[in-house]
Each structure stands twice: as structure tokens, then as C-alpha cells.
């Protein structure tokens, strides 16, 4: 079935009775739609296993990710969400958050000779969204620019499929195997290299937010490695902390540097970051 787009499962059609739908992403293991329904606008996510290719091992856990995220959202006290199983994996739906993500919003800052500076208020919105999660005792585990949706009222932190902090149903749980290497803290990269697994932490989230702000404002990754380097080589570079010298100008730059500290204990907490920006 690889190559073709799956369809919305019947249970989802029954629950939402869509009046319009737009495919947002359809890539290996995951399909997301924006769906209009009489109940409001929703993001619908479908997960299915990634089969092995000559370049990739099989990744059966992608099938479980939407249900795991649904369970996490329930745990965090969000209603208006639902999740369940379909033939090839699991699905969830959740309220659609309107707005550009951090990377898109700061695109003008990245243009050559740009005079547009990254807005502190935008950074603060991202900090508040992450602080809310940490205050509830959870770590996100997959903080990246695309996961901050900058809405008119507030910023939302999406994709909680890898979050850790409370019970999730055993049948939908799976180990954390790291995140996108650009945003991976050195201690996480080191653990993943050594054991294949790690544990999301608030300190690693703070590093990931620092790396997200840096790349969104400047276009540069926090750590230097060749674009086409294999994943383990990228992780080696992150683990050894080969920081790029690129900096965001001003106070925000100094704060991002602190967030990207090599040792987790040297990083500010998300509340300290918030205080520094307020
Ligand atoms: N609740 C939501 N509101 C608005 N947009 C959403 C929402 N959920 C998902 N999206 C959109 O769909 C994209 C993919 O969603 P998400 O990151 O949750 O899926 P994923 O399969 O985990 O993708 P990735 O592998 O990139 O993390 C997001 O980057 C965003 O553009
Ligand atoms: Mg995602």
C-alpha cells in the first residue's frame, strides 16, 4: 500500500461527519488531515507500520503513535479528542490549531540581508506552551519548530506522541528512540547511540527549544555535521557537542546559548527562560 494515501477510517467519518477535508501530510507511517465538521475543525492522524527497506529497519511503533498521543492528551486533561484503532494501526483526532508554525513565521528573519529580528513575544509564546506541559509533570520529547503553532490567542505545542510523565495504556506504549537529531540534546544522543533508547526530560526539551529558536531565526543547526551524514554520525557530533558559532543577536541569543549548554544541569529551566524573556 506504500505510495497510496489511506482514507479516513469509518469510525472517524461517523464521529465527525466531515463537510470538508484537506490532506496535510502523508509520509512513511503517518497521515494527517485537516477536517471540517459540524463539531468544529479537527486534525485527524492515522498511524501505520513502516516496513523495512534496504536503507531503513522496520518501524512498527509508528502504527501506535496516534493512540499513544490520544492517551497522553486525555491524561493532560484535554477533551474534544478521541483515539482508536483501524485495520493497519491507530488514529486520533484533536482540535485543529490555526496559525503558522515557528519555522514558517520566522522565515523573513532567515532571508539574506534580512533586517527583521525574531520577536521575543513569539519566543515567549513557545516557552509558555512548553512550561505548561512541564508544570503538569510531563516532558515532550519531540520539541521542534514545526510543533509550535503560533495562534492568534496563544501558541500550541502539538505532537505529544513521545511525551513522558504519566501512565499510558501498555498496548499503545513504545520506547523513546530519540527525536530529530537537529533538536536532540547531547545526553539523549549519547544514550540512543549506546542503548538504542533514551528517556525524554525537561532539560532535553529546553535544549530542543533552544535549537528550534536558533534554526528558525537563523537557518543554522546548533551543531555542525554534514547534511548527508548518516544518522549515527550526526548523533556522534551532537553527543560530542560540536556547537556552531552562529548566534541570534541580542538578549535572546545569550539565552539560547544557555539553553544549548552541553550539560543538562547548566541549562535554565523553562520557567527561568520565561522569566528572562518577560
Ligand atoms: N492539532 C493540530 N493543529 C494544527 N495542525 C496540526 C495539528 N496536528 C498536526 N498538525 C499538522 O500536521 C503536521 C504533522 O503532525 P504531527 O507532527 O503531529 O505528525 P507526525 O506524524 O508526528 O509528524 P512528524 O513525524 O513530523 O513529527 C504538523 O506539523 C502540523 O502541520
Ligand atoms: Mg510531528
Mean pLDDT of 124-143: 98
29: left (phi over 0), alpha (psi -120 to 50) or beta: left
Protein residues whose CB sits closer than 6 Å to any atom of ligand 1: 24-25, 30, 32, 43, 94, 96-97, 146, 149, 158-159, 161
**Which of 249, 256, 158 minimizes the C-alpha distance to 207?**
256
DSSP H helices in 97-160:
102-105, 107-110, 120-135
The pLDDT of 267-273, averaged and rounded, is 98
Q: Nearest to residue 70, comparing CAs of 143, 2, 171?
A: 171
Whole-number Å distance, alpha carbon 160 to ligand 1 midpoint, is 10
Report CA(115)–ligand 2 centroid distance (Å): 30
Selection from 27-31, 93-97, 238-242 with the highest mean pLDDT: 93-97
Give the distance (Å) from ligand 2 centre to CA of residue 32: 10
Task: Give mean pLDDT, residues 21-49.
Answer: 96
pLDDT band at 1 (very low <50, low <70, confident <90, very high): very low
Closest CA to 75 of 157, 200, 149, 160: 160
What distance in Å separates the CA atoms of residue 6 and residue 56, rounded to the nearest whole number?
22
Q: What is the mean pLDDT of residues 239-252?
A: 88
**What is the position in ligand 1's atom list of the atom closest to the CA of 94?**
1
Distance 181 CA to ligand 2 centre (A): 13
Q: What is the distance in A from the centroid of ligand 1 to the CA of 161?
A: 10
**Is residue 91 a contact partner of residue 46, using CB atoms and an 8 Å limit?**
yes
pLDDT score recorded for residue 261: 96
d(CA 8, CA 5): 10
- What element of type H or E holds 149? strand 148-150
Reported as type and span, the H/E element at residue 43 is strand 40-47
SS3 54: coil
Tell me the average pLDDT across 189-196. 97
Higher per-residue confidence, 5 vs 222: 222
Q: Which ligand 1 atom is at minimum distance from the Cα of 69?
A: 18
- CA of 70 from ligand 1 middle (Å) equals 13
Of 5, 16, 25, 184, the residue with max ligand 1 atoms within 8 A of its CB, to mutate for a pocket test, comes to: 25
Binning pLDDT at 50, 70 and 90, where does residue 245 land?
A: confident
What span, in angstroms and rounded, lies between the C-alpha atoms of 43 and 272?
Answer: 32
Q: Which atom of ligand 1 is nearest to the CA of 30?
A: 21
Contact 76, 88 (CB under 8 A): no
Residues around ion ligand 2, judged by CB within 5 A, are 159
Helix (H) or strand (E) holding 23: strand 20-27
Residue nearest to atom 1 of ligand 1 (CA): 96
Ligand 1 pocket: which of 16, 28, 43 to mutate (most atoms within 8 A of CB): 43
C-alpha closest to that of 72 among 192, 200, 184, 198: 200
Going from the C-alpha of 235 to that of each of 49, 155, 175, the distances in angstroms are: 24, 30, 18
Amino acid at each position: 500500500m506504500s505510495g497510496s494515501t489511506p482514507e479516513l477510517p469509518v469510525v472517524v467519518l461517523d464521529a465527525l461527519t466531515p463537510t470538508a477535508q484537506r490532506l496535510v501530510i502523508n509520509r512513511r507511517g503517518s497521515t494527517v488531515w485537516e477536517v471540517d465538521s459540524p463539531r468544529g475543525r479537527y486534525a485527524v492522524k492515522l498511524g501505520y507500520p513502516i516496513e523495512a527497506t534496504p536503507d531503513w529497519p522496520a518501524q512498527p511503533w509508528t502504527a501506535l503513535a496516534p493512540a499513544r498521543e490520544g492517551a497522553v492528551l486525555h491524561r493532560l486533561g484535554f477533551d474534544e479528542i478521541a483515539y482508536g484503532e483501524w485495520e493497519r494501526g491507530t488514529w486520533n483526532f484533536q482540535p485543529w490549531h490555526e496559525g503558522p508554525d515557528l519555522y514558517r513565521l520566522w522565515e523573513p528573519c532567515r532571508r539574506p540581508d534580512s533586517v527583521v529580528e525574531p520577536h521575543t513575544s513569539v519566543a515567549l509564546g513557545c516557552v509558555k506552551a512548553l512550561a505548561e506541559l512541564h508544570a503538569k509533570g510531563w516532558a515532550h520529547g519531540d520539541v521542534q519548530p514545526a510543533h509550535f503553532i503560533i495562534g492568534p490567542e496563544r501558541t500550541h505545542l502539538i505532537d505529544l506522541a513521545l511525551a513522558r510523565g504519566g501512565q499510558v495504556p501498555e498496548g499503545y506504549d513504545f520506547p523513546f528512540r530519540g527525536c530529530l537529531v537537529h533538536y536532540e540534546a547531547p545526553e539523549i544522543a549519547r544514550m540512543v547511540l549506546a542503548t538504542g533508547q533514551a528517556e525524554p526530560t525537561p532539560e532535553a526539551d529546553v535544549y530542543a527549544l533552544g535549537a528550534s529558536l536558533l534554526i528558525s531565526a537563523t537557518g543554522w543547526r546548533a551543531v555542525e555535521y554534514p547534511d548527508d551524514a548518516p544518522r549515527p554520525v550526526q548523533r556522534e557530533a551532537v553527543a560530542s557537542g560540536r556547537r556552531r558559532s552562529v548566534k541570534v543577536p541580542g538578549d535572546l541569543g545569550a539565552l539560547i546559548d544557555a539553553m544549548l549548554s552541553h550539560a543538562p544541569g547548566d541549562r535554565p529551566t523553562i520557567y527561568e527562560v520565561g522569566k528572562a524573556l518577560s
